[in-house]
Amino acid sequence: MMRNILQSNVLGLYFLYGLSFYTMGLAIAMQYRSYSTFRLAYSLSLLAAFGVLHGLSEWGSIFVPIQVPDLGQESVWKMLALQRLLQASSYFFLFSFGMKLAGDTRGRGGGWWMAVPVGALVVWLAFYARFIPLIGSPGLMEWLQLSEVWSRYLLALPGGISAGLALAMQARELRVIGKGALLGSLWGAVAAFAFYAVFSGLIVSPAPFFPASVLNTSLVQSVTGLPVELFRTLVGFVVTFCITRMLAIFDLERQKRLDESHRQQAVLLERQRFSRDLHDGVLQSIYGVGISMQTCNRLLDTDPEEARRRLDSSLQRLNGAIQSIRNYINGLQPAACGHDLAGMVRKVLEEFQQDYGLPVDFYFDQVYRDQVQEQEFEFPPVELVTILKEALHNVARHAHATAVRVTLSTEGKNLLLSVKDNGIGFTIQQPDTWLYPRKPGHHGLRNMRARAASLGGTVLIKTMRGEGTEVRVILPRLQEARSTKQEAGLDAGIGAANSNQ
């Protein structure tokens, strides 16, 4: 009974057979793979062309209306001839896919791989073209059937074999992905193309020459009791299933590239952080120690005690710089300095005055005294202190200033640090306006801006020639004060009596 059902639904098998290959062709065509380094990516367009054309040609076996006399017999013959041409073209692309992929895998570039499938297609076209003078004669249908047999022998059979062998050669490259399911799909596709070569290339309609006179569709029908179209349909489903699953290698490759890109980005960011910390921390400390040592050299004769005190301080700062370098070698962040931002700023200002001899006024407003100093910062305070060090360093080296004023204050939900000098300033395109520091070649300004940005803040500069410069650092507001300390009414003033130095 099953045999009768299959026999009566051969057109349905043609439809499913064509649908499977057409789906495969569309899936391959829609897969974006121009970035891929896999050799398979450069040949898949030929396999996509095979799938689409082969699906259309098989559907032609359904839609060519042989039984409709209104079209005229000659029109039906021409449509059948077109269907045979479409079918042979699909086999040609399959053959070309296998030859190109094999050539790319073996490292033999160039267009030599096209010579064999093109030669086979030319031979078949020469045979096929003989149907033209046969139009209208009784021998036309027989000739069209023979042309299909030769297209399978010349193109489909070697196409299936070459495609299977070429895919088998990709096993080593796919092992790099490390997915066993992909390798399973690869070998499934290899086996499926081998069966395709047999059922679609070797087993043909009966013809009056060997091997078509022996190994043909009638033999399969008599031995198995099933139409050969059923086997071709099953093979088509397996080919489509395995090939579409193999397309996952491009998604995995893209994900691997993204992961590598993220890793490289993380390395780059770490290098930038390392560069900023060295420039703004260690190098500035060493530079300050060098200035202090020069001062010690001048004080040796006039004030030996002060020179000794400065020398001891410089040695301590050198030891701190050495410890920072050790931390970097061990992959550690610079040591945290607690949450006493005002105290940290005072210490930096003391060292600055000692190194450069510039008077510095330090001021923090009443809001900071009453609310801010007892809160936990949303950023490491040492980062803000590092920006302050760089700003003071720029004043000492470039401003030619005689006084500096440092201010800690609040503005809405932001914390502000201002460093203002009375130096020479510099010229900008829009005087007396705030701007972002972007001057090329100056690592200090660039590092300040990058460090503030990493904390969710920004750095602005206001300057004019002859009127000094102000650097303003704006960082996110602090967290709310701890409720327990608010209830206790603790006085959080940080050295209010010493707010100016």
Cα Rg of the chain, angstroms = 41
**pLDDT tens digits, residue range 130-189?**
766 776 666 777 887 888 999 999 999 999 999 999 999 998 888 776 677 888 999 999
Is 364 in the same domain as 232?
no
Is 75 in the same domain as 207?
yes
pLDDT at site 375: 54
- The residue among 383 and 169 whose pLDDT is bigger is 169
- 258 neighbors 297 (Cβ within 8 angstroms): no
pLDDT at site 337: 47
| pLDDT higher than threshold 70 for residue 385 | yes
pLDDT category of residue 31 using cuts at 50, 70 and 90: confident
Q: Which range (44-53, 195-204, 324-333, 461-470) has the least confidence?
A: 324-333
Average pLDDT over residues 74-94: 86
| pLDDT higher than threshold 60 for residue 340 | yes
| pLDDT higher than threshold 50 for residue 68 | no
Report the interhelical angle of 180-196 vs 157-168 (nearest 10°): 160
pLDDT at site 110: 54
Q: Which range (7-16, 68-77, 79-88, 193-202) has the least confidence?
A: 68-77
Query: Average model confidence (pLDDT) for the chain?
Result: 78
- The residue among 342 and 38 whose pLDDT is bigger is 38
| pLDDT higher than threshold 50 for residue 435 | no
- The residue among 449 and 121 whose pLDDT is bigger is 121
Write down which residue in 246, 279, 299 finishes a domain: 246
Is 75 in the same domain as 216?
yes
pLDDT at site 370: 55
CATH of the domain at 492: 3.30.565.10
Is 240 in the same domain as 370?
no
Domain assignment present for residue 86? The answer is yes
Domain assignment present for residue 285? The answer is no
- Cα 41 to Cα 332: distance, rounded to the nearest angstrom: 44
DSSP 335: P
Q: What is the pTM of this model?
A: 0.59
- Cα 47 to Cα 99: distance, rounded to the nearest angstrom: 11
Is 239 in the same domain as 365?
no
Is 241 in the same domain as 377?
no
Among 122, 194, 192, residue whose Cα is nearest residue 155 = 122
Domain assignment present for residue 181? The answer is yes
Both tokens of 218, joined, read 């009638």
φ, ψ at 460 (rounded to 5°): -120, 150
Average pLDDT over residues 57-74: 65
- List of residues 6+ apart from 62 with CB closer than 8 A: 11, 14, 15, 18
SS3 for 476?
A: strand
| Domain residue limits at 133 | 2-246
| pLDDT higher than threshold 70 for residue 453 | yes
Q: Which range (3-12, 116-125, 377-386) has the least confidence?
A: 3-12
Write down which residue in 246, 272, 301 finishes a domain: 246
Domain assignment present for residue 218? The answer is yes
- The residue among 454 and 159 whose pLDDT is bigger is 159
Is 224 in the same domain as 368?
no
Domain assignment present for residue 468? The answer is yes
Among 89, 21, 209, 225, residue whose Cα is nearest residue 217 = 225
Cα angle 441-401-360, degrees, rounded to a multiple of 5: 110
| pLDDT higher than threshold 90 for residue 99 | yes
pLDDT category of residue 368 using cuts at 50, 70 and 90: low
Domain assignment present for residue 321? The answer is no
Domain assignment present for residue 426? The answer is yes
Average pLDDT over residues 39-68: 83
Element (H, E) at 329: helix 304-329
**pLDDT tens digits, residue range 458-492?**
888 888 888 889 999 998 865 433 333 333 333 33
Write down which residue in 221, 246, 271 finishes a domain: 246
Domain tally, the chain: 2
**pLDDT tens digits, residue range 258-302?**
877 777 777 777 677 677 666 666 776 777 777 777 778 777 778
pLDDT category of residue 431 using cuts at 50, 70 and 90: very low
- 62 neighbors 284 (Cβ within 8 angstroms): no
Domain assignment present for residue 323? The answer is no
